[in-house]
Structure formats: structure tokens, C-alpha cells
Amino acid sequence: MRKIGKNQLTAKEILTSPVLCLAFGFGSGLAKKAPGTFGTLAAVPIYLLLVQADFIIYSVVTVLCSVVGIWICGQAADLLGEHDFGGIVWDEIAGLLITMWFVSFSWQNLIMGFVLFRVFDIIKPWPIKWVDQQVSGGFGIMLDDVIAGIFAGLILMFLV
């Protein structure tokens, strides 16, 4: 049985803890390889639900996911005993919602937004890399993905 984080939690412990289940993107962050990509995939159904709602509702939920995500990610890091553990993917969920925020829905836009967000999240150009290295806690875990989502969203708006 695989142990997760420095505090050696099990998958069952992660999935039965409300905070860890959210932080791990409803289990998507438990993927052995590319948990960030799987976490971003977990955001797709959330996006598909929200995109049908009013822009105000989409905006409120996106902001709430980002702000509450600071607490969720900070708590998860503490419970795991490890800062910005790869399986913490709530920040990827918020990042994709930010990427798609001001773009009309189409499958093509969603695929482009997904790819752009993943590229910015993986490559981490300045200032994303600086934030990732210098800002700690839940705020740091969230902030680099928020910036990646903003960059990806701006490029996506330009392309669309």
C-alpha cells in the first residue's frame, strides 16, 4: 500500500478527509504520474457545469475556489507534512477555471485552455517560477497556479 507525503497517509485517509479529498481533486491527485494534469482534468466537469450558469455565478465560484483554496491547500500541506506536494491539485482546478473565465465555451477553446494552462503550470516562466519558489503556505501553493491561469487565459482570449 502506497504511503503519501512525509506523514505517510494512505489513499483511504486522503479520500475520507473532506479537506484532503478536495485538495487531491476528488482523488485525481492520487495519480502516480502527472497528478497536476489529472487534477486539471478533474476541473473539466466543474467547468462544464459552471459554464452553463450565469457569468456572475461562474465568477463567484471561481473566486471562492481560489480564496478557499488557500486554506484547503495550506491545511493539506500541513496534514501531509509537505509543502506543495504534487498530489495537491486544488490549485489546478482553480487555475483552469481562471483560464476559461472570460472565454466563450467551445470544445476547441476548452482544449486550448487546458493545454495553455498545463504549459504555463509545468514550464513556470517568470514570475510564476519566482512565486513558486519564494511564497510559502497555502497562498504560495495557490498563487503560482492563479498566475498561470491568468497568463493562459490572456493568451486564449487573444487567440479566440
State the pLDDT at residue 89.
Answer: 97
Instruction: Report mean pLDDT in 10-residue bins for the chain, 160 residues.
Output: 89 96 96 96 98 97 98 97 92 98 97 98 94 92 97 97
State the pLDDT at residue 104.
Answer: 95
Centre a 10 Å sphere on the Cβ of residue 134 and count the other Cβ atoms it contains.
11
- Which pTM value belongs to this model? 0.95
State the pLDDT at residue 91.
Answer: 97
State the pLDDT at residue 54.
Answer: 94
State the pLDDT at residue 83.
Answer: 85
Cβ-based burial of 123 (10 A; exposed 0-12, middle 13-18, buried ≥19): exposed
State the pLDDT at residue 75.
Answer: 97
In single-letter form, the type of residue at position 86 comes to G
Nearest-5° angle of CA 152, CA 97, CA 76? Answer: 105
